[in-house]
Amino acid sequence: MRLPCPICGERDRREFYYKGAALERPAPDAGEAAWDDYVYLRENPAGDTRELWYHDGGCGAWLVVTRNTLTHAVIGAELASEAKA
Ligand SMILES: [Zn+2]
């Protein structure tokens, strides 16, 4: 699989570290249940997902990669600092 880093261009996925689903972080005072969901509960969708990847072997940027879990097609990537939730 190849990932399109917005800074470096298309690179092999072995240059990246997979962090997990790109979820919106709860507010600091959101409560125990919201934080428990954020840390431990995950959907297992069949289709397009948004994931966090770190370009460890390249520019060091955090990316939000949109990928289809059925076809493994990478639809796009954007810098996490510019991504909308
Ligand atoms: Zn990069």
Going by pLDDT thresholds of 50, 70 and 90, the confidence category of residue 85 is: low
Q: What is the pLDDT of residue 79?
A: 97
Q: What is the pLDDT of residue 42?
A: 86
Helix (H), strand (E) at residue 38:
helix 32-40
What is residue 39's three-state secondary structure?
A: helix
Ligand 1 ion: residues within 5 Å (CB): 5, 7-8, 55, 58-59
Enter the pTM of the model: 0.82
Distance in Å, CA 40 to ligand 1 centroid: 28
Could you give the strand order of the β-sheet that contains 17-21, starting from the edge strand earlier in sequence? 17-21, 48-54, 62-68, 74-79
Distance in Å, CA 42 to ligand 1 centroid: 27
Distance in Å, CA 47 to ligand 1 centroid: 25
Rounded mean pLDDT, 4-17: 97
Distance in Å, CA 37 to ligand 1 centroid: 30
Burial class (CB in 10 A: 0-12, 13-18, 19+), 63: buried
- pLDDT tens digits, one per residue of 24-80: 889 999 999 999 999 999 888 899 999 999 999 999 999 999 999 999 999 999 999
- Domains annotated for the chain, with CATH where assigned, are 1-24+48-85 (3.30.2270.10)
Q: What is the pLDDT of residue 84?
A: 73
